[in-house]
Structure 1
Amino acid sequence: MKHVSIIVRAEWDEEAQVWVATSKDIDGLAVEAESFEALQPKVLAAVTDLVELNGFEGDGSLPDIPVHIMTDQLTRIPNPCH
């Protein structure tokens, strides 16, 4: 199946205290960083390398391959009623 973009899933590893990024679209992608901001450039560099090494069944007419870094982030605020 041809892809039009690459979906990367970023999750917080509470035990290791790092963000971990993986993807079902790119074999071999496993990147980690201490912050989400630091993770993004590492993901893009790794995806670029893996696309060159492994190829990518994408739409050859596109000048760029969109990379979506998806995450769920939970933030808490103090409960004013507590």
Structure 2
Amino acid sequence: MSAEWDEDERVWVATSNDVEGLAAQSETLELLEKSALAAISDLTELNGIASDLPEIPVRDT
């Protein structure tokens, strides 16, 4: 997942090449993380991706 600041809309936008359909936006990075993680959880279920992980691992790059 990557996050970029959209100057025109004044929001952070998250997208991912690994999670089909992920597009989340929020006014702060903290809110973006929560929104994106919730969307990833929903999208993995909707896309039929099975996981036995208790949570989605997040790391800074």
When the two structures are superposed, what TM-score results if normalisation uses the length of structure 2? 0.81
User: Aligned to 2:34, which of 41, 56, 78?
Assistant: 41
List alignment gaps of at least 5 residues for structure 2.
none
Number of residue-to-residue matches in the alignment? 61
Q: Does 1:19 align with 2:12?
A: yes
Which has the higher relative contact order, 1 or 2, with Cα contacts under 8 A spaced 6 or more apart?
Answer: 1
Over aligned residue pairs, what C-alpha RMSD do you find?
A: 2.1
Q: Give CA deviations for 1:33-78 in whole Å, capped at 9, x if unaligned.
A: 0111111110110000001110337xx67554424465xxxxxxxx
List alignment gaps of at least 5 residues for structure 1.
1-7, 71-82
Q: Percent identity?
A: 52
1:29 and 1:9, CA in 2 relative to 1: closer, same or farther beyond 3 A? same
Whether the 8 Å CA contact 1:21–1:31 is kept in 2: the answer is: yes
Query: More helix per residue: 1 or 2?
Result: 2
Of the two, which has the highest radius of gyration? 1
When the two structures are superposed, what TM-score results if normalisation uses the length of structure 1? 0.62
